[in-house]
A = this chain, B = another copy of it.
């Protein structure tokens, strides 16, 4: 009998060329599909809630797939973790309603972006945070972050190469926090994100925090939708897909 499975996975993206399967590069999707084929006894194609770029991490990525394999759902995490590389872990496996699609059915996604101040770059954290020598002003960054809340056209924060249909997205959470060890963490949740949106936003907020442009510049871009805001993506290694939420029941 065909089952549809919702798998929650966690990965360190440092050694992968992103989530999506590619011809020659090692990717998260390829690793998952190879190991799922062994566990399910048949070829498996997974759909992720979204792609993560090379070097981007995931605390809770969600992928869906369907299989006629007989392994009990509850046994999947242990079976997969015993053969997956240690930098990819399966946290949960749940049976979902037929037709469940991790990408199309996602209703809210949350990311975090981590920045650390280091007078000397630290080789042991360079894959996990954006290392900076100068400390931006957290008040200014939070002032800019608050402007993002609500429904906006994010054309100005979209990198070229995007295949996104609508640049209008609703942001539910947007704030900077400081952790005990001094790491700055940006939290953003929304109903969707255009290509490179979080990294472009972080870069712009850091420029604002460093006094290179006023928070007002960001407000203007969001209200006037010029689609020409000058920005460039913050480094991939600071970005973590933190959570994906779904409407689990539908009529």
Contacts and interface: CB of A to CB of B under 8 A. Distances in A.
Interface residues of A, number: 21
B15 A126 contact: no
Given A15-B15, A81-B121, A127 B89 contact: no
A179 interface: no
A63 to B, nearest CB: 15
A131 B57 CA distance: 20
B10 A87 contact: no
A221 interface: no
A89 B12 contact: no
A127 B128 CA distance: 12
A170 interface: no
Given A14-B14, A15-B15, A89 B121 contact: yes
A124 B128 contact: yes
How many copies of the chain does the oligomer comprise? 2
Nearest to A91: B120
Given A81-B121, A121-B81, A126 B14 contact: no
Interface string A4-32: 00000011101100000000000000000
Interface in A43-99: 57, 81, 86-89, 91
Contacts of A12: 123-124, 126-127
Contact of A126 (B87, B123, B126, B128): B87
A70 B124 CA distance: 31
A153 to B, nearest CB: 35
Contacts of A86: 121, 123, 126, 131
Contacts of A128: 124
Interface in A127-149: 127-128, 131
A121 B90 CA distance: 10
Contact of A123 (B88, B121, B122, B131): B88
B15 A123 contact: no
What 7 pairs between A and B have smallest CB-CB spacing?
Answer: A86-B126, A12-B123, A87-B123, A89-B123, A12-B124, A11-B123, A10-B123
26 contacts: A10-B123, A11-B123, A12-B123, A12-B124, A12-B126, A12-B127, A14-B14, A14-B15, A14-B127, A15-B15, A57-B124, A81-B121, A86-B121, A86-B123, A86-B126, A86-B131, A87-B123, A87-B126, A87-B127, A88-B123, A89-B120, A89-B121, A89-B122, A89-B123, A91-B120, A124-B128
